[in-house]
Amino acid sequence: MPHSVCDQTDSASVHAQFDSLVESIADKLPKAADHLAETHIDVLTFTAFPKKMWRQARSTNPSWGRLNREIRRPTWPVSSATGTP
């Protein structure tokens, strides 16, 4: 999902897709959505640079790393005390 934000062709599209991303994760990951909503200016700073520099600028953004860690966080299955799932 975060890649869909960065894959947009212009700054306005990036901002619109980012807002869509925040809305889509708000129910499942409310803390991550709140964090992204609060820091959207910092997260999308790369759009102020020329398009050819976007990849380099966004790769150093720590907020993207936090979002990816939150989304990829493992969920472990719960098993019963007898050892059977």
Give the model confidence (pLDDT) of 29-80 as tens digits: 898 889 888 888 887 887 887 877 766 665 556 666 666 666 666 666 666 5
| Mean pLDDT within 26-31 | 89
Neighbours of 61 (CB within 10 A): 17
CA atoms within 13 A on the CB side of 29: 18
Q: Are 57 and 5 in contact (CB under 8 A)?
A: no
Which residue has better confidence, 85 or 27?
A: 27
Which residue has better confidence, 55 or 28?
A: 28
